[in-house]
Amino acid sequence: MMDREVELLAIGAGPSNLALAVALEELAPDDLARNSLVIERAEAVQWQRGLLLPWTKSQVSFLKDLVTRRNPRSRFSFLNYLHSVGRLDDFINMGSFTPYRIEISDYLNWVADSLTKVRLELGQDCVSVEPRRDASGSLNGWITRLGDGSAIASRYLVFGAGRDPHIPAVFAGLPASRLIHSTQYRPRVAGLSRELPYRVAVIGSAQSAAEMFRALQDDLPNSEVTWLMRAIGLSAYQTSKFTNELYYPSFVDKFFEARPEGREQILREMHHTNYSGVAPSLLESLYSDLYTDRLAGLNRKRLITMVDVAAAREEADEAVLELADRRTGAVTRLHRDLIFLGTGFAKQMPGIVRGLGAALGLAEITVNRRYRLALDEPSAAACYLQGVNEGTHGIADTLLSVLADRAADTVADILAHRPRVKVNGHRPADSSALVTVRVPADGRVGR
């Protein structure tokens, strides 16, 4: 038995589903918007809360907010947020297109508070999703199970819960207490003693590893931090205004239509514009930090490049990392208390989505151009995946760049998929997935 039922359930209140909620409020008929629920496992809406550091900035223009590209006159725009909280003058005076991350985070929270039709519930942790079937076995909805044991049924499901953290297999033998993935940085560091001289390793050579390395000097100032990476050294994102055009929402069509070799080349060449690089301004300040550390003879910070962590194990109350030097082949051991992982996100679909795919018997989890999960059977229900379709929709899929347009595509697809309705009391032949709709006088039914 279901604890409750909504027409549309969106899992996760990050940028993806907040953009969706805004699109539902502005584009969908009232009965759909008011019968839509967004659930979020955290107790507050925040952007990338684990690494929400006060000095970090968004890498994307504020004009690529949740809505402006789709509807520049929307009341949910970043500019209206600044105006509402009295910070428009300050922001203009800063003269920057890229806000601080804490500003974006506050904007998301403001949008969540400003919704008037779509409901949002915090502290609701989705643990699994399964298909719902009628007596004849036809798929007619989804059952979302929550951590508290309750369940929510819905005809439409929109997954926007982000990607799963990538923890390289070599660290599997270490206790969880020694491993801190970047998504957990702030809460985990808050639980450590600022005074203790921990021996720390940071793993990875991209932005999240760089931010943790930089933040650790303030958060654990007495610690000795060794930064390990396979790369020959740190480099900046290789981006330009030319390659940035591939982040345009209009490029999604071109990517989607590309043949496999074309997609592979685009993703390979674009990799250095988003992954495996560091923001140039951060690189400069990291080098200064390292320089002054050496100048003062402290030697608390160390970079070890061209190295693989070949093994990791717990020994005599410490973590022992076996490091294989890629240049010489030599193997050395490094003894640490804590390992900070800037190792990014898993490439495969998130666990919840894979679980649903298995329950549906899908050999492959993929979506159509409008983000609808491809099913092997006729269905009165539909499921949408947001932010996890880089392979089919291009490199911008995980970013803010395409949010406004993607939300509009998703809502348009839902509205087109919604014909089996009880219209002014008359039921269509297939009543397996009925939704009651009051048709307005002009006869429009959600299109």
Interface ranges with ligand FAD (CB under 6 A): 11-17, 39-42, 47-48, 51, 58-60, 125-126, 160-162, 208, 386-387, 398-401
Q: Which is nearer to ligand FAD, 184 or 305 (CB)?
A: 184
- Distance CA(50)–CA(23), nearest Å, equals 27
- Min CB(338)–ligand FAD separation in Å: 19
Q: Which is nearer to ligand FAD, 273 or 432 (CB)?
A: 273
Q: Which is nearer to ligand FAD, 127 or 434 (CB)?
A: 127
- Min CB(325)–ligand FAD separation in Å: 30
Closest residue to ligand FAD, judged by C-beta, is: 14
> Three-state secondary structure along the chain?
CCCEEEEEEEECCCHHHHHHHHHHHHHCCHHHHCCEEEECCCCCCCCCHHHCCCCCECCCCCCCCCCCCCCCCCCCCHHHHHHHCCCHHHHHHHCCCCCEHHHHHHHHHHHHHHCCCCEEECCCCEEEEEEEECCCCCEEEEEEEECCCCEEEEEEEEECCCCCECCCHHHCCCCHHHEEEHHHHHHHHHCCCCCCCCEEEEECCCHHHHHHHHHHHHHCCCCEEEEECCCCCCCECCCCHHHHHHHCCCHHHHHHHCCHHHHHHHHHHHHHHHCCCECHHHHHHHHHHHHHHHHCCCCCEEEECCEEEEEEEEECCEEEEEEEECCCCCEEEEEECEEEECCCECCCCCHHHHHHHHHHCCCCCCECCCCEECCCCCECCEEEECCCCHHHHCHHHHCCCCHHHHHHHHHHHHHHCCCCCEECCECCCCCCCCCEECCCCCCCCCC
- Min CB(277)–ligand FAD separation in Å: 13
> Closest Cα partner for 12 from 67, 49, 60?
49
- Min CB(339)–ligand FAD separation in Å: 18
Q: Which is nearer to ligand FAD, 12 or 446 (CB)?
A: 12
- Min CB(53)–ligand FAD separation in Å: 9
- Min CB(423)–ligand FAD separation in Å: 34
Q: Which is nearer to ligand FAD, 100 or 171 (CB)?
A: 100
Q: Which is nearer to ligand FAD, 129 or 380 (CB)?
A: 129
- Min CB(108)–ligand FAD separation in Å: 9
Q: Which is nearer to ligand FAD, 383 or 437 (CB)?
A: 383
- Min CB(146)–ligand FAD separation in Å: 8
Q: Which is nearer to ligand FAD, 56 or 379 (CB)?
A: 56
Q: Which is nearer to ligand FAD, 16 or 276 (CB)?
A: 16
- Min CB(386)–ligand FAD separation in Å: 6
